[in-house]
Structure 1
Amino acid sequence: MVRNAERRRQLLDAAVEVIAGQGSRGLTFGAVDRAAGAPTGTGSNYFASRDQLVDELAAHVFERLTPDPVEVAKRMSPAHTRETERDLMLWLVERAMADRAAHLALFELRLEATRNPRLAPAVTRHFAGNLAIATTDHVDGGFPGDRTTALVLYLAMSGLLLEHLTMPGLLGEDAVKRVVDQVVAAVVPAE
Structure 2
Amino acid sequence: MVRNAARRTALVDAAIGVLALEGARGLTFRAVDAAAGVPAGTASNYFANRDDLLRQAGEHIHVRLRPDPERLAATLRGHRDKALVVELMKDVLARLSHDRAGYLALLELRLEATRRPGLRAELTATISRDLEDNLRHHHELGLPGDRTTVVALYLAMTGLVVEHLTLPDILPPDTLDDLIGALVDRLQPRDGPQAD
The corresponding residue for 1:135 is 135
The corresponding residue for 1:89 is 89
**Counterpart amino acid of 1:184?**
V
Structure 2: segments with no counterpart, 5+ residues: 192-196
- Give the secondary-structure state (helix, strand or coil) at the position aligned to 1:171: coil
**Counterpart amino acid of 1:105?**
A
Separation in structure 2 between the aligned mates of residue 61 and residue 168 of structure 1, nearest angstrom: 21
Runs of 4+ aligned residues of structure 1 deviating over 4 Å after TM superposition are: none
Q: Normalization by structure 2: what TM-score?
A: 0.94
Aligned residues: 191
The corresponding residue for 2:194 is none
**Counterpart amino acid of 1:47?**
F
- Give the secondary-structure state (helix, strand or coil) at the position aligned to 1:168: coil
The corresponding residue for 2:21 is 21
**Counterpart amino acid of 1:181?**
G
Separation in structure 1 between the aligned mates of residue 107 and residue 48 of structure 2, nearest angstrom: 24
Q: Normalization by structure 1: what TM-score?
A: 0.96
The structure that is helix-richer by fraction is 1
Deviations 1:33-73 (A, max 9, x none): 10000111111110101111111111100001112211111
The corresponding residue for 1:173 is 173
Separation in structure 2 between the aligned mates of residue 95 and residue 105 of structure 1, nearest angstrom: 15
Does residue 3 in structure 1 map to residue 3 in structure 2? yes
Structure 1: segments with no counterpart, 5+ residues: none
Deviations 1:14-46 (A, max 9, x none): 011100011111111111110000111111110
The corresponding residue for 1:36 is 36
The corresponding residue for 2:60 is 60
Task: Report the aligned-residue RMSD.
Answer: 1.2
- Decide whether the 8 Å contact of 1:2 with 1:45 is kept in 2: no
**Counterpart amino acid of 2:129?**
G
Separation in structure 2 between the aligned mates of residue 60 and residue 118 of structure 1, nearest angstrom: 17
Separation in structure 2 between the aligned mates of residue 122 and residue 77 of structure 1, nearest angstrom: 34
The residue correspondences of 1:147-166 to structure 2 (distance < 5 A) are: 147-166=147-166
The corresponding residue for 1:187 is 187
